[in-house]
Amino acid sequence: MPVRNLFSTAARMAVVAVMLTAGSAYADDYSDVAQLLKSGKTQQALQKADTYLAKNARDPQMRFLRGIALTNDGKTEDAITAFRLLTEDYPELPEPYNNLAVIYARQGDLDRARSALEAAVRNNPNYAVAHENLGDIYARLAYQSYAQSLAKGGRPAALNPKLKQLKDMLQPAASVAAPAAGPAAAQPTQPAQR
């Protein structure tokens, strides 16, 4: 289960959604920020998003793109705050929950990641990415539980095959580019951000 490119897919999805619901002037702003993110110009994307949000502070699509820019810029706590505030202001949107879950998973907080993903699929039961990520989190939690059982004297004959199977399943495919914040050697793949 490979990690998907976090910016391009998220930016494309946000831009498409915005273009369907917003006027062309706004779509240009969204497209500009999404393009800057795609081309790795995170600081410029963040500046453009902040300029836009100074006039349209509650715009959920630009706030979402800003959260992605903060994530890409390594401003994890600011990104968490941005996505958390989006979930408070627009609790019906599943994407901010999904992106929060990705950050939490990268930090190793699988319980918070699970909770965020459960909220995402509750809000949109057809959100395939969140379902996939939730499956990854459940598999990672299973891996941790089996490893703890083994460490506490559990039955190696029963646990080692399960651990191997989960580890093999959760390792990124060799043909997929390594994620920006790759998993540790014994850690399964990070969830995909959208």
Predicted pLDDT at 139: 95
Predicted pLDDT at 119: 97
Q: Please, which residues have CB within 8 angstroms of residue 44's CB and are 6 or more apart in sequence?
A: 36
- The segments of the chain whose pLDDT lies below 50 read 1-24, 174-190
User: 51: which 2 tokens?
Assistant: 């300029």
Predicted pLDDT at 171: 86
Predicted pLDDT at 78: 98
CB 6 within 8 A of CB 72: yes
C-alpha span between 159 and 24 (Å, rounded)? 57
Angle at 131 between CA 128 and CA 134, to 5 degrees: 150
Select from 45, 59, 134 the least CA-distant residue to 93: 59
Q: Please, which residues have CB within 8 angstroms of residue 75's CB and are 6 or more apart in sequence?
A: none
Termini Cα distance of the chain: 15
Predicted pLDDT at 14: 46
Predicted pLDDT at 23: 46
Q: At what angle are helices 94-106 and 6-21 packed, to 10 degrees?
A: 170
154-186 pLDDT, tens digit each:
999 999 999 999 999 988 754 333 223 222 222
CB 143 within 8 A of CB 166: yes
CA 77 to chain centre: 14
Quote the longest CA-to-CA distance of the chain: 63
87-104 pLDDT, tens digit each:
999 999 999 999 999 999
